[in-house]
Amino acid sequence: MNNLPPLRRSSRIRRRATARLAAAALLAGAVAALPVPAAHAAGSIVKVTGSQGDWQLTVDGSPYTVKGLTWGPSVADAGQYMPDVKSMGVNTIRTWGTDATTKPLLDTAAANGIKVIAGFWLQPGGGPGSGGCVNYLTDTAYKNDMLAEFPRWVETYKDHEGVLMWNVGNESVLGLQNCYSGEALEQQRDAYTSFVNEIAKKIHDVDPNHPVTSTDAWTGAWPYYKKNAPDLDLYAVNSYDAVCDIRSTWESGGYDKPYIVTEGGPAGEWEVPDDANGVPEEPTDAAKAAGYKSAWDCVDGHPGVSLGATLFHYGTEYDFGGVWFNLLPAGQKRLSYYAVKEAFGADTSGDNTPPVISGFDVDNASAVPAGRTFRVSTSVTDPDGDALTHQVLFSSKYLDENGSLTEAEFTDRGDGTFDVTAPDRLGVWKVYLKSTDGRGNVGIETKSFKVVPPQVDGVNLALGRTATASTHQADSTGCPCPAANAVDGSFDTRWASEWADQQWIQVDLGSTTSFDHVQLAWEAAYAKGYTVQTSTNGQDWTTVHTETAGNGGIDDIGVAGSGRYVRVNTTERGTPWGNSLYEFGVYRG
């Protein structure tokens, strides 16, 4: 029972695009006051039939294999996107939350001949941001709320033609490790899966015509369900690069229920090796497309036990996670979109397909000087001969968990190379090349690169000298952070002040010395306003440079000065935190 995957730092992008977390928020208190929509007439009867190793899902008596996608667009956009989903050969979509806002989605799905695996979210969910911790042994109030809430919506929608089945929870057996450890974790996992069984029984009482399942991350959760949740009609699992291992795990585990894959696709962040810059190496567009095909082949290759899959993700978010997983970021179709369409048996013969980017490379990717130009090289072709336009973007996800993409300044040299202006903030970034064909298709490739300080000619007079500061943080993240860290020559250490304006750091050069350059390498916490000052005695100061619009990153300051002491005197912070410098260099050429 202990083969659940650990939650790595990098697993956050997998979890799961904006639509999923929005669905997670649609819980009891948020929807209790909303009007109950009228039920749709003439719902289907959905059953899991058969016996050990020879099961099938039936809808109104006819065999039904789930050929699906997880659903990302807003309900308001369902009318725009659902016909496209249908054109891909999809017969099912999966959601993570069900409430009063669900009816238009069910209506639109049913109108397009598509059914819905309707989800109910339980805390803590599978990853960061998914919800708070719950004690499933003692929190009767939460459990009673969910036992009342979920059957209420089942009663509302049980006769809707759009409903295929009910899905209780998402990766909480995994997610409980964010809240507990050791024996307490085992007790909570038993208690959680027992509670899922209580909900399953309640749902069956209200709606005997649709199956109930529960999703978790990989099959390490299945022993808990086998032990504690006999009323589930089938199991459900989220699995990506390991999806082809499900069959052997099911066979060796002695399970007596069929399953569906409720999220699947190419390798995620947590499944790929780190690159030379120490961050997960994102698969290419071609590899992602192949990952969807492989996933479906393995799902389809376990007949009588695997009842299908909803692959991840029919989403339009255009951010770090969206580029990794979405079939149509910003509404533009990529190679993975067509791979899924082909896997599901839809006709792709007349499709105009995306540009293909190959050989994507970043020159000197482990040492790109801040603010300077670096080169991206690649080959971009279009199978249909369409004219292409290009865009270069950055992500600072590995610096600050900001998943948004920002446009970069670049020059297209016209030969497959692009000269790009680097950010001036130190650390590992990702650069993306986006190529569009004007026909609704896109190719996107990405690599990491590490921004380092530009080399300064001359001698660093401050290196290893005595440094003092107004304040320093003793116990913040990565601290203690004394002033000496800013003159130790390492960009892995930093000086950090208290969270207040009017801070200073100074270095004693040992004797009165002239200099012609100062380089400040700011951490995320930087000074918007500051002065560079000199002194011969450490008491009387002369200002040689004033900054009023600092934006962090690297400040390369060409300034002539002389003194034994050189000080950075901050006046205004650029962030709510203190001021923090990786390095404070004083140079003489």
Mean pLDDT of 375-388: 97
Q: Tell me the average pLDDT across 115-143.
A: 89
Are residues 256 and 283 in contact, defined by beta-carbon separation less than 8 angstroms? no
* Residue labelled with tokens 């919800």: 131
Provide the terminal-to-terminal Cα distance of the chain, rounded to the nearest Å. 63
Domains defined along the chain, listed by start: 9-343 (3.20.20.80), 356-452 (2.60.40.10), 459-588 (2.60.120.260)
Per-residue model confidence (pLDDT) at position 127: 58
Q: Please report which confidence band the pLDDT of residue 336 belongs to, taking 50, 70 and 90 as the band edges.
A: very high
pLDDT surpassing 70 at residue 159: yes
* Nearest residue to 265 (alpha-carbon basis) of 354, 335, 355, 340: 340
Which pLDDT tens digit goes with each residue over 266-317?
999 999 999 999 999 999 999 999 999 999 999 999 999 999 999 999 999 9
Give the per-residue pLDDT at 389: 98
Tell me the three state secondary structure of residue 65. Answer: coil
Structure tokens that stand for 409 in this block? 């300044």
For the chain, percent of residues with pLDDT exceeding 90: 90
pLDDT in tens, 522-538: 999 999 999 999 999 99
User: What pLDDT, on a 0 to 100 scale, did the predictor assign at position 10?
Assistant: 34
Q: How confident is the model over 74-92, as pLDDT tens digits? A: 999 999 999 999 999 999 9
Give per-residue pLDDT as tens, 188-227.
Answer: 999 999 999 999 999 999 999 999 999 999 899 999 999 9
Would you tell me how many other CB atoms lie within 10 Å of the CB of residue 564?
16
Whole-angstrom distance, CA of residue 153 vs CA of residue 4:
31
User: In this structure, what DSSP letter does residue 5 have?
Assistant: P
What is the tens place of the pLDDT at every residue in 132-148? 899 999 999 999 999 99
pLDDT in tens, 444-499: 999 999 999 999 999 999 999 999 999 999 988 889 999 999 999 999 899 999 99
* 69 pLDDT above the threshold of 60: yes
Pairing of strands 466-469, 495-496: unpaired
State the average pLDDT over residues 572-586: 96
CA gap 63, 55 in Å, rounded: 10
Q: For the chain, what is the total number of helices (H) and then of strands (E)?
A: 13, 28
Does the pLDDT at position 234 exceed 80?
yes
User: Among candidates 408, 430, 102, 57, which has minimal Cα distance to 258?
Assistant: 57
Confidence check: pLDDT of 400 > 80: yes
Q: How far apart are CA 572 and CA 518, in angstroms?
A: 19
Tokens of 264: 């699947």
Quote the pLDDT of residue 398.
96
How far apart are the C-alpha atoms of 354 and 341, rounded to whole Å?
Answer: 14
Which of 377, 310, 306, 379 lies closest to 340 in space, CA to CA? 310
**8-47 residue pLDDT tens:** 333 333 334 333 434 433 333 333 333 334 444 468 999 9
